[in-house]
Chains A and B, each alone.
Chain A
C-alpha cells in the first residue's frame, strides 16, 4: 500500500529562507502549499506601484514568484483588520521601531495553524533560523512562538531543526531529521550555499526586511498619526498613504501629503474624493492632500507650502486649486513659502 504523503503548509514571505525551507521538505516527498499574510505594512511591490521612476524595474510579487518556482500553490490571506491588535498592543513589545516582530510571528503561526486544521494539513514549516533575527528568531523566543501560537511541536524549521528538539514530523518519520539542517546565527553563507546546491540563483534579499514597520521613517510617521489623533488607530488608506509623498505637519490639526513626482501625483489623485486637496494651477507642481482640519489661515499656509514645491517657487505668486472632499473647488493665490520658513520639525 502506498502511504498518502503528509501535507505541510509553509509560511512563504518571498525571501530566500522560506523558499529553502519548502525545498528541503519537498525533497522528502511532503506535499507543501504556501501561505502568505498581507498585513498592510508589507513592502512588497507598493513603492514600485506608486512611484513612476521605479517602474522601469520589472515588478513582481516575490511570494507568488517563489511559489511558482517551487511549483506550489500559494494562498494569500488578508489579515489587515486582525493585525491591528498586534500593532497596537504587542505583548512582547516593539523592536527598534514600531515592529512587533515576536508577536507578529506568533500571530502568523496561529493563523497558519487555523488554516492547517481547516484544510487537513499535518504541520507547518517556516524558514526561521535560530539566532537570525534579534527578537523573533532567538533560541529563547523560538519556543515562545510554538507555545503562544498553540502549534506546539507541529512547527518544523527545516533550516535549523538539528539545533532544536525533534518535532512531531521528525519523531513520526514524516520527515527525516538527518536530511534537515543546523544553520544558526546571522550569517547568510549556509543559505546561499544551499540555494546554489538547489540551483536557485535568483532570489529576493530585502535589505530592511519585508515590513514597513521596521523602517524608522515610516514608524515615525505612524507615531505622528497616532499622536495627532490622540489614539492608536489606522485605516488601510492611512497606512498606504504613509508610504507616499512628503508628509509635512505645520500645525497639530493637519498634515500635508505632497507628491514628489508624477507617479505619486497619480496615486494621490485617487484619494481626492476622501481628502481636501491642493493642486498648483499657474505652474507645474505637486498634488497635496490635507489630512485633518484646516481653517482659512491654515489653508493659506498649506497652499504656500505646496507652492514652494512647484516650479513657481521663485515666483511672487502661485495660483492653486483647493478642492474639498465633496468636489467643490475654489482658487487661491499665494506667495510660495521661502525655504527658511519651512521648519525642519514640520517634516515627518
Chain B
C-alpha cells in the first residue's frame, strides 16, 4: 500500500478532480492519496467523483485556507 500527496493548490475545479482522476489511475486498490487544494469546490466535487468511481474519502479538513482530503482507492471493476 502506498500513500501519496497531490498538490492541487491554486487550481480551480474541475482541475483538482482531473488531477486526482489521473493520479488514481496509476494507484492500486487500498492505496491512499492525500490531496491539498485551495478551491472550496473540491469539498463537493472530489467526494462526488469518488462516489461515482468507487473510491472512499476517509478524511476532509480545512487548515489555513487549504482543504485537505484523504482518499482510499477502491477496487477496479
Contacts and interface: CB of A to CB of B under 8 A. Distances in A.
Given A61-B45, A68-B51, A49 B21 contact: no
Contacts of A42: 14
A44 interface: yes
Nearest to A270: B10
B29 interface: no
A74 B53 CA distance: 8
A189 interface: no
A58 interface: yes
Interface in A53-73: 55, 58-61, 63-65, 67-68, 72-73
Nearest to B10: A270
Given A64-B48, A74-B52, A76-B21, A38 B41 contact: no
B44 A49 contact: no
Contact of A76 (B10, B12, B18, B38): B18
Interface string B3-19: 00000001011110110
Given A49-B40, A55-B40, A64-B45, A76 B51 contact: no
A266 to B, nearest CB: 8
A45 interface: yes
Contacts of B15: 38, 78
Nearest to B53: A73
A104 B53 CA distance: 27
A74 to B, nearest CB: 6
A75 B21 contact: yes
Interface in B39-58: 39-41, 44-45, 48-49, 51-53
B41 A73 contact: no
Contacts of B41: 45, 48-49, 59, 61
Nearest to B42: A49
Q: Which of A44, A76, A240 has the most CB of B within 10 A?
A: A76
Nearest to A237: B10
Nearest to A58: B44
Given A73-B52, A74-B49, A61 B44 contact: yes
B18 A38 contact: yes
Contacts of B17: 61, 64, 76
A61 B40 contact: no
Nearest to B48: A64
A46 interface: yes
A73 B17 CA distance: 14
Interface string A217-234: 000000000000000000
Given A55-B40, A59-B40, A270-B38, A46 B13 contact: yes
B52 A60 contact: no
Given A38-B18, A76-B18, A61 B13 contact: yes
Nearest to B19: A78
A343 B48 CA distance: 46
B52 to A, nearest CB: 5
26 contacts: A36-B14, A38-B15, A45-B12, A45-B13, A45-B14, A49-B13, A58-B44, A59-B40, A60-B48, A61-B13, A61-B17, A61-B41, A61-B44, A61-B48, A63-B14, A64-B14, A64-B17, A64-B45, A64-B48, A64-B49, A67-B52, A75-B21, A76-B17, A76-B18, A76-B21, A266-B65
Given A38-B15, A64-B14, A75-B21, 15 more contacts: A38-B14, A44-B13, A45-B13, A45-B14, A48-B41, A49-B40, A55-B40, A60-B48, A61-B14, A61-B45, A64-B17, A64-B49, A74-B52, A76-B18, A270-B10
